[in-house]
Amino acid sequence: MECEVCGKRIYGGGRNIIIDGAKLIVCSECARSSTPVPQTYEVQETVVKRALAPKANKVRRNPTLSRNIPPTISEDVEVVKNYGGLVRHAREKMGLTHDELSRKIGAKVSVLQKVETSKMVPDQDTAKKLEHALKIKLLQPILKVPVEDKFKKPPTELTLGDMVFVQDDKK
């Protein structure tokens, strides 16, 4: 077992302590500079669990709009090249502010601003919501161009390699 504070190996049993409300198992050196876990710590854990529960009145945001998760777009569609200008022009044409449009599609104002300045490519759900709200086309199907095989030779052409026979020298 390793100390959860310093990373040293713990021989024997570790000591339970509390640091900033977190219950940790540490070595004896790290346990000297902290407070031991009281017997009634379970009450504090339930308070933490209750605080982490989702609130009923809070609006849930799209999880793909967070920074750590890349935007998802299916493989058969792509976002048009000038998506930022299209979104800005359509929003201004309809007379909507960033706040009004963000409430209408359920996205953050900062996300809309980044999309309009082309700093962020919208994910497929956000692009569909923008298309519906602004009556524009942001997603287009990907044209699949057949890839030519560079090594495939036309049947009529012959090369020197096609005509040469290689003989093995047998000793």
Rounded to whole angstroms, the Cα distance separating 95 from 101 reads 10
pLDDT tens for each residue of the chain, 171 residues long: 788 888 888 877 788 887 777 788 888 888 877 767 665 544 344 444 444 445 544 445 555 444 544 555 667 888 888 999 999 999 999 999 999 999 999 999 999 999 999 999 998 899 999 999 999 999 888 877 666 665 665 566 677 776 776 666 665
For the record, the structure tokens of 66 come out as 């967070």
Rounded to whole angstroms, the Cα distance separating 87 from 98 reads 11
* Residue 15 DSSP class: E
Beta-strand runs (E) in 29-84:
35-36, 77-79
In the chain, what are the domains? Answer: 15-52 (no CATH), 63-141 (1.10.260.40)
Determine the pLDDT at residue 150. Answer: 58
The CA-based angle 74-80-83, given to 5 degrees, is 115
Rounded to whole angstroms, the Cα distance separating 50 from 55 reads 10
